Amino acid sequence: MRKITKRTLALLLAVSMILGVSTAAAAAAPGKTRQPSESAAAPVPQDIAACALEITSKPTDTTFVIYEERPDLSGLVFKASGGALDGTVTVDYDAVADDWSPAQDKLLWDIWLDWYSLVEGENEMYLCVRAYKCTQFHPVKTVDEVEYGYFERELVFRAETAITMTATPNPDRPGYRVLTLDVPETVTLSERDYDGWSEWYGNARFKFTAPSDGFYAFRSDGGEIGGTLYSKDGDVLEARNVDPWGELYCGDDYWIYDDDGGGDYNFLIYRQMKQGETVTLYTGCWANEEASYTVKVTRQGDNQPVLQLKSNAVRVDFRDFIDINALLEGTGYTCWDVQIRYDYEYVRWWDYYDGLLWAIKNGESDITITAPDGAMATVKVTIDFSAAQWLCWLFLGGYFWLGYTNAGPFNLADQLRLLFDFGVGNSLRYWLIDRVYDLGNLVGDWYWLLLDWLRP
């Protein structure tokens, strides 16, 4: 009996070690990969979850002028496999980037770069790739015995992988102007014109010192919703687009960013302040033609109002979702109406459109939700393993593989199916790549710590 028990446990541990390296079944690519974030749509269908993306030729020019142009991906070549693709596909960016003409069974490739922040010098960005297959054809009309219509498109591949691009400064671009913002003074920023994929106007840096304790609002005026607009009669108007943004730096690396919280593309940032406290407000504006906007700060009252939620504490299983709309139930707001701040180490956006945050690390964290009128609530989030995850951790080597399981409610049977669908060998290879990457990061961190210690 003991032998049977020992053999069973050994078999389970062996399977768990293999399952532990099924990173490719949940992650999109080797190395430091990014899971879907604020730009992600609904969770990936199970049949395209096991996707792999490998860059074989980097873009010809990996440099770009920061804030003035988009990185150019010309020369990029990559290999895509998994999902619903037929084997491994080699994709030349130059050949497919602008080819969106549908045809039966044709693959249409959507390729772009995403990032969390930009600095001068090297930036780790994310190459995002989606492939859509033209499937069922729906005829609309026949001309000269030829049917014309449209194709349905099926998402068959979805993956991201890290890519390094270097941002260079524009020597002709003026720096931030330093201005003092006094209550209730309004400062108008003169228009500034730059060449690039979108025009940039009104760089400024404001210093503000609170004259008294209170609840303050930093906002812009002059935003305009533009683009191509139509009347009921079909008239076309090419309207000017003016989109100010603001970042409020409050010290100790704490900052608050907003783009459109003030309506009509204006930013709106709230801050409870003490008398004599000083903050820095960075502002800028995107526009498609010459524009200007104003920035002002006003004292709203003595204290920031409280947003009343049904609960200010939630518990969520590791890698499951936090539903922001459920938290806001009864307030009259949805995730689209409020500003949400969270600790990126513990949670990240999975589906912004449906208000789903993704729990990625066990522990306790806070989510702050701010309503349009400035009312704020802080939600204490506790992230922990479910009972099934704890059993896997204790008896099936979950330490190695729970971090690679799919987003959403945990299901061991689904994870095993994904593992064997993708292949044990592929899973082992990607797990080893991740460990080598982690080791490189660790060595790099120690190198810089030693260098700082040796400096006089």
| Cα dihedral sign, 192-196-197-203 | negative
In the structure, what pLDDT confidence band is assigned to residue 241 with cuts at 50, 70 and 90? confident
pTM: 0.56
432-456 tens-digit pLDDT: 877 777 777 777 666 666 656 665 5
The answer to the question of residue 162 being in a domain is yes
One domain for residues 136 and 186: no
The residue out of 356, 384, 412 marking a domain boundary is: 384
One domain for residues 110 and 185: no
One domain for residues 261 and 152: no
- Domain of residue 194 covers 177-301
The answer to the question of residue 455 being in a domain is no
318-352 tens-digit pLDDT: 999 999 999 999 999 999 889 898 998 999 988 87
One domain for residues 239 and 327: no
Residue 319 to residues 24, 322, 331, 378: CA-CA distances in angstroms? Answer: 16, 10, 27, 21
159-173, 256-270, 302-316, 393-407 — most confident range: 302-316
One domain for residues 103 and 156: yes
One domain for residues 293 and 263: yes
121-152 tens-digit pLDDT: 898 899 999 999 999 988 888 888 888 888 89
The answer to the question of residue 308 being in a domain is no
The answer to the question of residue 400 being in a domain is yes
The answer to the question of residue 306 being in a domain is no
Distance CA(402)–CA(398), nearest Å, equals: 5
Compute the average pLDDT of residues 257-277.
90
The more confidently predicted of residues 178 and 10 is 178
One domain for residues 197 and 88: no
- Write down the pLDDT at residue 36: 34
One domain for residues 230 and 183: yes
**Number of domains observed in the structure of the chain:** 4
CATH number at residue 380: 2.60.40.1080
One domain for residues 19 and 38: no
- Write down the pLDDT at residue 37: 33
CATH number at residue 246: 2.60.120.380
Six token digits for residue 308: 């009343």
The answer to the question of residue 333 being in a domain is yes
The answer to the question of residue 63 being in a domain is yes
Q: What is the 3-state secondary structure (H, E, C) of the chain?
A: CHHHHHHHHHHHHHHHHHHHCCHHHHCCCCCCCCCCCCCCCCCCCHHHCCEEEEEEECCCCCEEECCCCCCCCCCCEEEEEECCCCCCEEEEHHHHCCCCCCCCCCEEEEEEEECCCCCCEEEEEEEEEEEEEEEEEEEEEEECCEEEEEEEEEEEEEEEEEEEEEEECCCCCCCCEEEECCCCCEEEECCCCCCCCCEEEEEEEEEEECCCCEEEEEEEECCECCEEEECCCCCEEEECCEEEEEEEECCCCCEEEECCCCECCECEEEEEECCCCEEEEEEEEEECCCCCEEEEEEEEECCCCECCCCCCEEEEECCCEEEHHHHCCCCCCCCCCCEEEECCCCEEEEECCCCEEEECCCEEEEEEEECCCCCEEEEEEEEECCHHHHHHHHHCCHHHHHHHCCCCCCCHHHHHHHHHHHCHHHHHHHHHHHHHHHHHHHHHHHHHHHHHHHCC
One domain for residues 41 and 145: yes
151-199 tens-digit pLDDT: 899 999 999 999 999 988 776 655 555 556 665 555 554 444 333 333 4
The answer to the question of residue 454 being in a domain is no
Compute the average pLDDT of residues 364-369.
95
The residue out of 267, 301, 335 marking a domain boundary is: 301
- Write down the pLDDT at residue 309: 93
Contact (CB, 8 A) for 246 and 300: no
Burial 136-147 (b: 16+ CB within 10 A, else e): eeeeeeeeeeee
- Write down the pLDDT at residue 172: 60
Mean pLDDT is lowest, of 82-96, 233-247, 298-312, for 233-247
**pLDDT averaged over the chain?**
79
- Write down the pLDDT at residue 43: 38
One domain for residues 39 and 159: yes
One domain for residues 183 and 281: yes
The residue out of 146, 168, 190 marking a domain boundary is: 168
Amino acid in the structure at residue 26: A
